[in-house]
């Protein structure tokens, strides 16, 4: 039985990493394109101002709490979230599952060359995974038809979309009725990590839920985006 709560109007699944993977495993046995998303406080805040995004997030088949701020909000409002489940960790679990069951993947997104490099590294670690294809995220609207045709001709079990939030979520939602995949997941910078063009925060930052702070230290230009975090907590406190 699926259990969900809501933070500032955005549905979030009450899951652990293990139960989230069980949900994905079940979705992979379905007969339609299921949408997996990884909202954090920044995305939740954006959804409060973007009706299209809120509709998109609400239509997900699995919405994991990726962001320590969501866990804090849950504690404040007593919403029952159990633990933070990151997109990076869930993607790895999905790849492990795909490797054991000979599933296939397609990677869409990132700068030119990044998706290809990520696929090479994934295949190196998970030799039984079938890599059906890849394409960078720098495509124009009139190129979408060819990309969709390529994906549908190859019929991968899993599509990893790394187009950045909220573009990747809106893209999946806008095409899920025609995509011939079992699961489409928005993975953002995870593809860069697999490609080796970006590094995940050290374990100490991960344990403390401070990966966002590590990214800010590495990329100070992100400070404007990070302003969503205090605004998010203020909204949560006011709602309480």
- Residue 228's pLDDT is 77
Q: What is the pLDDT of residues 154-163, one digit of tens each?
A: 999 999 999 9
Task: Quick: pLDDT tens for 183-212.
Answer: 999 999 999 999 999 988 888 888 877 787
> Pick the residue with more confidence: 219 or 190?
190
> What pLDDT does residue 209 have?
77
Q: Which residues sit opposite 12 in a β-bridge? A: 5
Cis peptide before 166 (omega within 30 of 0): yes
Tens of pLDDT, residues 27-36: 999 999 999 9
Q: Which pLDDT score, from 0 to 100, does residue 99 have?
A: 98
pLDDT at residue 42, rounded to an integer: 94
Which regions of the chain does DSSP assign to beta strands (E)?
4-7, 10-13, 34-37, 62-63, 104-109, 130-135, 158-162, 183-186
Cα gap 73→140, rounded to integer Å: 38
pLDDT tier for residue 223 given thresholds of 50, 70 and 90: low
- 109 pLDDT higher than 80: yes
User: Rounded to two decimals, what is the model's pTM?
Assistant: 0.94
Residues 130, 136 contacting (CB under 8 angstroms):
no
Which residues sit opposite 35 in a β-bridge?
184
């Amino acid at each position: 039985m699926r259990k969900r709560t809501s933070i500032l109007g955005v549905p979030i699944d009450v899951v652990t990493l293990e139960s989230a993977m069980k949900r994905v495993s079940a979705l992979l046995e379905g007969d339609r394109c299921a949408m997996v998303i990884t909202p954090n406080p920044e995305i939740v805040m954006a959804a409060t101002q973007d009706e299209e995004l809120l509709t998109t997030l609400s239509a997900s088949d699995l919405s994991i709490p990726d962001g320590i701020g969501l866990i804090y909000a849950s504690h404040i409002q007593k919403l029952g979230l159990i633990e933070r489940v990151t997109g990076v960790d869930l993607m790895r679990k999905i790849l492990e599952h795909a490797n054991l069951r000979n599933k296939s993947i397609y990677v869409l997104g990132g700068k030119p060359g990044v998706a290809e490099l990520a696929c090479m590294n994934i295949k190196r670690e998970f030799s039984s995974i079938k890599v059906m294809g890849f394409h960078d995220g720098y495509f124009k609207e009139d190129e979408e038809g060819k990309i969709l045709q390529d994906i549908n001709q190859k019929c991968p079990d899993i599509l990893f979309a790394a187009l950045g939030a909220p573009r990747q979520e809106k893209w999946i939602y806008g095409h899920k009725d025609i995509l011939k995949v079992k699961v489409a997941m928005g993975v953002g910078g995870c593809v860069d990590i697999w490609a080796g063009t970006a590094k995940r925060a050290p374990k100490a930052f991960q344990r403390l839920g401070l990966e966002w702070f590590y990214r800010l230290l590495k990329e100070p230009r992100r400070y404007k985006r990070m302003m969503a975090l205090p605004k998010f907590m203020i909204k949560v406190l006011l709602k309480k």
